[in-house]
Structure 1
C-alpha cells in the first residue's frame, strides 16, 4: 500500500465536491481509495501497489485532467429546494450492522445484496402505494427484461454520457471446444473468474440501467394521440459504481418502479408533478424526513460539464433526498426527470401535433427508500409509524434463525 497526495492546481467549487468525489472511484484501478479533501484543494489516495516516480506523476496528471474537465468554466447552479418535510427521525445508529447480523441483508457479491423479510415488507408496502398512484394516473402496466439492446443505448448516447456505469452481458462461444475448455480450466480467484477471454463471445446485450428506456424503445417511430401516454413498470436496474458501492446506499443491482409520461411538454410536466406530489403523501405516511432539490445525472467526465449545466439551467431533474442520521448525509430515494424532446427527436416519436414528443419519468428506488426508512426509524417494528406497522404485521415474520441453523 502506498499513500499518494495530489495537490490540485485549482480548488474544486463546493457545489461540485460530490460529483468530483464520485468520479474519483474511476480514476485508476490501482487505487483502493481516493478522497477529495474538505477544502477541495487536494486528493488523498491509497495505491494497492508501489508506484514509481513516473507512475505517480502520470497519476497526478490524470487527476488534474479529471478535475479540470469537470470544473473549468463549469456552470455552478443554485440548488433549489422545491419542498421538504421533517419527520420524527427517532433513530441515529447505522442499521446495517444489525441487518447483516440478523441476515436480513446478505451481501452476495460486490454491489448486490439479498434482502430479507423486514425490508421486503417495507418495499412491498411501497409497491402497493406506488401501483395505486400509477392507477390513479391511468398508467398502462408494462414488464421489461433485465437485458437491453446495446445498439439502442448507443443510439440514445448512453455510451457517451454514462460509460462508467455500463454492465455488459456475455456468454461462452457457441463452440464445443471453447465450452469444454471453460469447464476444465475456469476457476474463481475471489470474485474474479479466471478464464481465457478468447472463449468468451463479444457482448451483444447489456444489463438495463433504467426502466424508461425500454418504453422509449418500444415507442420508436410511433405517434402519441392527443390524450398523451402514461405507463408504469417495475424492474431491476444495473449501474456499476466501482468503489462508490457502499452497503445499500449505492449498489450495482437495484429495483425501481417508474411512472413514464410521453406527449406534449405540458402533459409531461403536469404528469411528473402529480406523481411527485402523490409520492410526498406516501412519505408523510412513512413519517420520513426528506427534501426535494434540483440535481443532475451522474454524467461521465467528458460530458459532465455541458450536460450538467444544461440540466441545471432548465431544472430538468429533481431528487427526493432522505437524510441518513447515522452518516450526516442524504441519499436520493426518488427522482423526477424531464427529458424535453430528446427521445422524441432521437427515436422519431411524435406527439399529436406532429412535433417531436416530450418525455419524462418519476422513479423510486426501493432499496434506498427501505434503507432510509430503517435509518430514520430503526429496525424495531414497534417503533415504526402505525400506518406501516399495522399493514406489515400480517405478513412480516418476527422470527429468524439461530447461528446453528444458519451454519
Structure 2
C-alpha cells in the first residue's frame, strides 16, 4: 500500500518541487542551443537524480512522477518530453549511471584506446562486476543532513535542482557536468539510451554498445537491431577461427580479430525460397555491398565478382573490401554450404592475387574472410594450419527481419556502386 504521504503531499512543498523542475527545464533550453544532445542528456540525468532524491526524502511513492508530469503540462504546456513515461526513464537513467559509473567509463575509455578482444572482454567484466548500482541510493541516503545544513531553509532544498545534485555527489555542479560530458553516456541520443534502458544488459555491455554507437554512427534503429542480434557476443564473446596471430604483427592481428564477427547476420529479403548456391551467393554479395554496417566500421566497397586473368584462366573473387582501420584489402569468399578444407586453399589463392595485383606499398597484408553456412571449428582450425596468409572463417545466418524503415535509410547496391564508381579503377568494375 502506498505511503499516505503520497496522497497528502503538503501543497507548499509540492508547488516548490514543481517550480524547481520547471526552472531547471527553462534553464536547460538555453544550454540546449549550443550542445543540444549532450546538454539534454545532462538535463535529463539531473532531473532523474532530483526526483529520486525527493522520493527518498519526502517518502513519496511512484505516483509522484505521474503528478509531476501533469503539473508540468499545466504549468509549462509548451515544454515537450516530460511525460510520465519519459520522467520514469530519466529516473532509470540517473540510477543506471551514477557519478562513479561515469568516472569508470572515462577511465575505461583511456585503457581501451587500442581495443582488442582480450582488453575489451576484461574491461567489460570489470564494469559488470563493479558495485556501482548502490552508489546513488547510498549517496541519497547520506545526503539528507548535509543538504539541510547546506541550505538552512526548508524550501531551498526543493527549489534548486543543481544544488541538490551537487549536494548528493558532494562536488560542484560544474565538475559534475564536466564528468558527465566527458563520458560516452553523453555521446549517444536519448532514443538509444531508452533502448538500452529497456534491455537488461550488464553495465559493461551497455558501455560497449555506447562506444560502438559513437564510433559507427549507429541510429537508434540500428542499435536496436545490433542488440537484438547479440552483436556483443558475436564480436567479443564467441570463439573465432582465424590464424591472425601467426600471420599478422601484434597490433594488426589484435585489431583484425577484434573486427571479425562470428556469425555474421545478413538480411536476404527478396531471395528465392528455394535458391541454389549461385542464387544465394549472388544475394549475399549484393547484401554485403548494401549493408556494410554488418561488416563493421571503416569497411569500403571495392568490387564484387572481381575478374582476374591468371595465366590462361579467368577467376572471379566474390567481394573485395578495403578496411581503413587495418589499412588492408579484405577478400571475402561466400559459400552457401558448410566449411570444407579446400575453401581455405581457394581463398588463400585470391589473397595472393590481390596482394600482387591491388596491394600498394602503404597497404598492410591482405586478409581473407571466408563466410560459410556453418563450420566444424576443429576442422576449420586444422585447415588454416600451414597457411602464411591471414584468414578468418565465420558462419553467417540469413535473416529477413530488418525493418522497412531501416531498409529505406540504407543505400541500394546500385547506389553504393554509383557513389564509389569515381574512386574505382576501370579494372575494378565487374562489368568490364
Normalised to the residue count of structure 1, the TM-score between the two structures is 0.23
Q: Which has the higher contact order (CA 8 A, sep 6+)?
A: 1
Structure number with higher strand proportion:
1
Structure number with higher helix proportion:
2
Normalised to the residue count of structure 2, the TM-score between the two structures is 0.22
Larger radius of gyration: 2
